[in-house]
């Protein structure tokens, strides 16, 4: 299974990016997680411009088309998701890559409830298939934990592994039901 993972933070020591890195490091052998590193290069969304004329947007769309699942982890800024993440998602709204895509949404701050709620609404509106069983909050805010530190924390590591397994199980179950 190929999973594309997008962190909504551009910060070097981002907790959201660290969480996705930790997930990549502990994912089962049959799962390949690609962490998208081009968010800062996505141009401002403009409906007058065709996505096919924007190479950075096409790179994202192609990665998504090659994936069977999407992980998203976003910081909350002023009660919303990060602008760079929303900008990238806006480019994907009209494409077919997103439709029925299994998506897990992660949160690294228990107090950041607005952004995570908004992200659920956005993904549902884009016809993504949110796998609720895999959506977790890992309380990393102010922890100073690196990806290695996250994996060395038993409770966090267990929670992450359970979320990945739930994502795989639920995705397989829904695929079987659709056949």
Ligand X SMILES: Cc1cc2nc3c(=O)[nH]c(=O)nc-3n(C[C@H](O)[C@H](O)[C@H](O)COP(=O)(O)O)c2cc1C
As measured in angstroms, the least distance from the Cβ of 120 to ligand X is 16
As measured in angstroms, the least distance from the Cβ of 39 to ligand X is 12
CB nearer to ligand X: give 27 or 108.
Answer: 108
Cβ neighbour number for residue 40 with a 10 Å cutoff: 8
CB nearer to ligand X: give 136 or 168.
Answer: 136
CB nearer to ligand X: give 107 or 129.
Answer: 107
Pairing of strands 2-7, 69-73: parallel
Using CA atoms, how far apart are residues 169 and 175, in angstroms rounded to an integer? 10
Burial pattern 58-71, b for ≥16 Cβ within 10 A else e, equals eebbebbeebebbb
77 binds ligand X (CB under 6 A): yes
Site track 92-131 with ligand X (rule: CB under 6 A), x = hit:
----------------xx-xx-------------------
Burial of 107 (0-12, 13-18, 19+ CB in 10 A): buried
Which token pair is 161?
């592994």
Cβ neighbour number for residue 175 with a 10 Å cutoff: 12
Which residue sits closest to ligand X, CB atoms considered? 75
79 binds ligand X (CB under 6 A): yes
DSSP assigned state of 108: S
CB nearer to ligand X: give 84 or 168.
Answer: 84
Is 128 in contact with 6 (CB distance < 8 Å)?
A: no
40 binds ligand X (CB under 6 A): no
- Partners of 104 in the β-ladder: 71
Site track 136-155 with ligand X (rule: CB under 6 A), x = hit:
-----x--------------
Residue from the set 6, 9, 71, 145 that interacts with ligand X by CB under 6 A: 9
168 binds ligand X (CB under 6 A): no
Using CA atoms, how far apart are residues 79 and 75, in angstroms rounded to an integer? 9
> Which residues bind to ligand X, rule: CB under 6 A?
9, 11, 14-16, 75-79, 108-109, 111-112, 141
């Amino acid at each position: 299974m190929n999973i594309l993972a997008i962190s909504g933070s551009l910060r070097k020591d981002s907790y959201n990016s660290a969480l996705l890195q930790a997930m990549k490091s502990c994912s089962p052998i049959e799962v390949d997680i690609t962490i998208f590193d081009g968010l800062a290069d996505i141009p401002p969304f403009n409906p007058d411009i065709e996505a096919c004329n924007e190479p950075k947007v096409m790179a994202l769309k192609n990665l998504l088309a090659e994936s069977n699942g999407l992980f998203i982890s976003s910081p909350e800024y002023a009660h919303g998701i990060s602008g760079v993440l929303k900008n990238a998602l806006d480019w994907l709204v009209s494409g077919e890559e997103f439709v029925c895509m299994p998506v897990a949404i992660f949160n690294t701050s228990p107090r950041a409830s607005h952004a995570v709620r908004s992200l659920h609404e956005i993904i549902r509106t884009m016809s993504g298939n949110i796998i609720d069983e895999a959506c977790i909050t890992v309380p990393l805010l102010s922890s100073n934990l690196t990806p290695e530190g996250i994996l060395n924390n038993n409770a966090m590591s267990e929670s992450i592994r359970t979320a990945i397994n739930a994502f795989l199980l639920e995705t397989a179950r829904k695929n079987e039901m659709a056949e």
